[in-house]
Copies of this chain bind each other. A is one copy, B any other.
Amino acid sequence: MSRSASIKDVANHARVAVGTVSNVLNYPDRVSQRTKDRVLQAIDELGFVRNDAARQLRAGHSRTIGLIVLDVGNPFFTSVVRAAEDAAALQGSAVLLGDSGHDASRESNYIDLFQEQRVQGLLISPVGDVTDRLDLLRERGVPTVLVDRLADESKYSSVSVDDDAGGYLAARHLLDIGRRRLAYVGGPTSIRQVADRLQGAQRAVAEVREASLEVLDSSGQTVLAGRDVGNQLVRRSADDLPDGVFCANDLLALGMMQSLTMMHRLRIPEDIALIGYDDIDFAVSAVVPLSSIRQPTEALGRTAIELLADEVDAMAAVSARPQHRAVIFTPELVVRQSTAG
């Protein structure tokens, strides 16, 4: 186990100055072919690998970007993370990933850690109220982009998805295939996403005469909660039933599908058309493939990185006041058998 080689060792071995080795690494054009070859050979022979800590120390900042998400287990975030990593790699940065798990203290720990690492910038889906900390970070030259949360453009850049539009899209689709007695199934409306999607659905329903929207409260956003609501529906008399149901997420929709089809009293989509939200992997392989609303997670992750890069540039340019942008994406309708015909 030998101490790993430094740039100095390489310089000695190749019989050049350390500055030359550095130039080979960073500005190959400044070095003659002959010297470059010698240096590269020395690097190879010694198995030299740059020490990033030293590089950072000199540069004053790292080539990494901090990303804090609410839950890496959630496919929505996994997909955002992947896109962000790819986009960052393209511009030569790496992503440090932190999972706050909806816990404000873990979130805070990650912010500390990232600050010690002198990350170039921070992408975050905040749990707690972190605006004070983010303001401080910005003062220190570390810009932030909020992810999956709409921000006041005068303060931060952000990327988010328009849940109201998504709700509209889902309800509009049910109306388009001829359904008029709609129902919205969603957990507590205190959750912003749930409320926004409902609002969009109401907007769509208001556009069509003789269409109605019933709101069914669910105890949560899980398969089991969906099954509960479904079991209540099944007990109703036929003329009291909705003919189109929009669930606030796919888990709810899948639970509901289970209770409706299990009893074999109601057929999907003939008796009740069903649409969910999120387009999780299981949607396509449900008993009846589930229509859903897909969120552009790749674009979300990619754009977050791009906005951050803009902010980094803006901070570097002493002149300009940083200009923030709030990018709002529009979700997309995915039609499958559960709303066919």
> In the complex, which residue of chain B has the Cβ closest to the Cβ of A116?
B52
Tell me, yes or no, whether A47 is within 8 Å of chain B by CB.
Answer: yes
- CB of A297 to closest CB in B, whole Å: 11
- CB of A126 to closest CB in B, whole Å: 19
Contact B262 A141 (CB under 8 A): no
Query: What class of interface size applies to chain A in its complex with B?
Result: 35 or more
Tell me, yes or no, whether A264 is within 8 Å of chain B by CB.
Answer: yes
Contact A82 B57 (CB under 8 A): no
Tell me, yes or no, whether A196 is within 8 Å of chain B by CB.
Answer: no
Tell me, yes or no, whether A35 is within 8 Å of chain B by CB.
Answer: no
User: 1/0 per position for A5-36, CB-CB distance to B under 8 A?
Assistant: 00000000000000000000000000000000
Which chain A residues in 33-72 approach chain B with CB under 8 Å? 47, 49-54, 56-57, 60, 62, 72
Number of copies: 2
Tell me, yes or no, whether A285 is within 8 Å of chain B by CB.
Answer: yes
Question: B residues within 8 A CB of A57?
Answer: 51, 53-54, 57
Tell me, yes or no, whether A2 is within 8 Å of chain B by CB.
Answer: yes
A78, A138, A285 pick with most chain B CB within 10 angstroms: A285
> In the complex, which residue of chain B has the Cβ closest to the Cβ of A62?
B53
Give Cα distance in the complex from A97 to B81, angstroms. Answer: 11
Question: B residues within 8 A CB of A89?
Answer: 109
Tell me, yes or no, whether A236 is within 8 Å of chain B by CB.
Answer: no
Tell me, yes or no, whether A108 is within 8 Å of chain B by CB.
Answer: no
- CB of A328 to closest CB in B, whole Å: 25
Contact B118 A52 (CB under 8 A): yes
A4, A60, A101 pick with most chain B CB within 10 angstroms: A4
User: 1/0 per position for A132-148, CB-CB distance to B under 8 A?
Assistant: 00001011110000000
**A residues touching B (Cβ–Cβ < 8 Å)?**
1-4, 47, 49-54, 56-57, 60, 62, 72-73, 75, 78-79, 81-82, 85, 89, 94, 96-97, 99, 101, 109, 112-113, 115-118, 136, 138-141, 222-224, 227, 255, 258, 261-262, 264, 282, 285, 287, 315
Nearest first, the 5 A-B pairs at minimum CB distance are A223-B285, A53-B56, A52-B116, A53-B57, A53-B53
